[in-house]
Structure formats: structure tokens, C-alpha cells
Amino acid sequence: MITAQAPLGSGFTAASTAADVLDGVDLRASTAVVTGGASGLGIETARALAGAGASVIVPARNVVAAGARLAGIDRVQVEYLDFLDATSIDAFAERFLARHGSLQILVNGAGVMGLPLARDDRGYEVHFATNHLGHFQLTARLWPALVRAEGARVVSVSSSGHRYSPVHFDDLHYYQRGYEPMAAYGQSKTGNILFAVALDDRGRGFGVRAFSLHPGNAYTPLARHFDTAQLQAIGVLDASGRPVIDPARNKKSVEQAAATAVWCATSPLLNDAGGVYCEDCDVAMAAAAEEPPADGQEGPRLTTAAFTGVMPYAIDPDIAERLWAVSARLAGVSLG
């Protein structure tokens, strides 16, 4: 049964923090993998899960730097993984499967945003390769551990930026169409949502449920490709260069922005739900359809406008199945 894309009345708000969500939650029997867990929202996500008792593994390309950022947080360890190196994804999963019987929580949070056009060694555009395909491959490789958990959750950190672009199947990697960084980011974030739809359809019979979410806009290293003037112009930073915190207008602290991923990973309200897109610690509404910029037109720009809801093209099960088939071919993996 498909879960309705409608709020459940969680009792939390845009101002709730990850610590609020996990107050009284006991995760001592859980193992979690948090990609992107050594930067920005990921650090707070890893801290909150570990604080509730989970054993947390953070994959990172720079293990030394990641270890320094996470120093002092009990029950967190760092392992090497580079999402632009397919062999390192497989190696990480093999190490995990050899050492751990099961995996209760997988938070797919690593990401890049606003990069100039670049492709990995396979010729795949870097936003799509990192934000979507790398997590597709990792989840598929960790599938046996997720199934063994007999009640696992896979949480994909997407963005309201999925509004910037649907998935362009005819030219995923920008070989023919004009390149715009935020459109490329938007395509990858749409991919995150569609992935949750298709994964939940496959996983629910095995006790594996999947979710995607918009965390809310917070000033983190994800915005490093935008200068201070740009971030001040859209209201992320104030005139003194300090982060603006106003959750009612979609501008959150790191602690607030990490809350929805933690809620998706642990809330009992979602025990019989899956495949949905969430925001502000609840299931989001479906948004009205609107046309994204056409190829060749001026593309989207970074914004913190309070977009709410999920675009219909991002939760369409037929599009999700098409993306799954393409992703399995490009990554060379699927479940099992």
C-alpha cells in the first residue's frame, strides 16, 4: 500500500532540533551509517544518533579530517569512502558486512551543490554521481545488512531544491544540454526522492522502509561554492556575516536542520509508512505542479525561499522505476 503524502501530526515543528526528536529514544541496539556525517548537518545527525545510544559509522574521503571534526563524540567511528570512486564504495560495504550483522539506520546525507561542470572517471556528472548514484550503489551493497535488521530505515537527504529540475533521462550528464549548477543539483535531489519511492516499494516486504526529506536551509559547508555577498543577498547570512536563524522562514540552525532526518530514521509514526518526502519533522504535502526552467533558458539560482511540499514528478512511481533501472545499469548494481 502506498503511503499518503500528507502530514501525520508529529507534534514537532520547524524549530524542533535533533535532540528534541530523540528525547527519550533508546537506540542502544542500533547501528547507523551516516554519509556526510563529518560535515554540516551530518555531524549533528551523527551526534544525535550516537547520543541516543546508536553505534554510528561515518564514511569519509578524508578520514583524518573527519576524525578531527568528530573527536569527542562517543560511539562514532570513521571509515574511508569516496563517492566518486565506485571501488571504494564496494570496499566500505564489504568491510561493514564482514564486521556487523545488521544495519538499522542508513542516512544518505553526503552531497555537493553548485559545482562547475565536472564528471567522474566514468563520465557521470558529479552532482548526479555523488548525490544519487553513489548512494544507490552503497544502499544496494549494504542491502543484506538492512534486511537482517528486520526493521531498517534508509533516509535520503534531499532538498526543496528538487524543484530546480526533474530527471532528464535523455541527457543525465550534460553532454548535449546547457549546464547550470543549481539545475544539476536539483536533478540529483529529485533523484534522491525517486530513489526513496522505488526502494520502499522493494524493501517493505523485507522490513526496510525508505524516506526522503528537505532538512531546511542552514549555513553549512555545502554552500562553499557561493560567496558571502550571494549568501547575504538571499538572506542566509546577515550584514555582519552571521547565519540567519528563522525556522518559520525556512532558515534553520544546524541542530534544527538535522531534526527531520533523525525523525525519519526513528519516529514510531513511520513504522507503517514509507516512500514519502518529509519536511519539518513530518510528512510533507504534495505541491502543485509547475514547470521548471526549460533547457537553454536561464537556470535556477540558490535561494532560501520557503518552498514547501514535494513536486509530483519527484514522487511519480513510474518515473521512480525508470530511474531505478537506469541507476542499476550505470552503477552496475541492484538489490541482492
What distance in Å separates the CA atoms of residue 229 and residue 299, rounded to the nearest whole number? 20
Contacts by 122-129, CB closer than 8 A, 24 or more apart: 122/86, 122/330, 123/173, 124/172, 124/173, 124/330, 125/172, 125/173, 125/174, 125/184, 126/84, 127/181, 127/184, 127/185, 127/187, 127/188, 128/172, 128/173, 128/184, 128/187, 128/188, 128/191, 129/83, 129/84
How many angstroms separate the Cα of 90 from the Cα of each of 83, 141, 148? 10, 7, 19
Element (H, E) at 213: strand 208-214
Query: Is 277 designated active site?
Result: no
Do residues 321 and 203 touch, judged by C-beta distance below 8 A? no
What are the grid coordinates assigned to 173, written together?
550528464
What are the grid coordinates assigned to 50, written together?
550516537
* Angle ∠(246,247,248) on CA atoms, nearest 5: 95
The residue annotated as part of the active site, out of 185, 219, 277, 313, is: 185
What distance in Å separates the CA atoms of residue 117 and residue 312, rounded to the nearest whole number? 27
What distance in Å separates the CA atoms of residue 170 and residue 198, rounded to the nearest whole number? 20
What are the grid coordinates assigned to 212, written together?
526522503
The contacts of residue 123 (CB under 8 Å, 6+ apart) are 173
SS3 86: helix
- Report the catalytic residues: 185
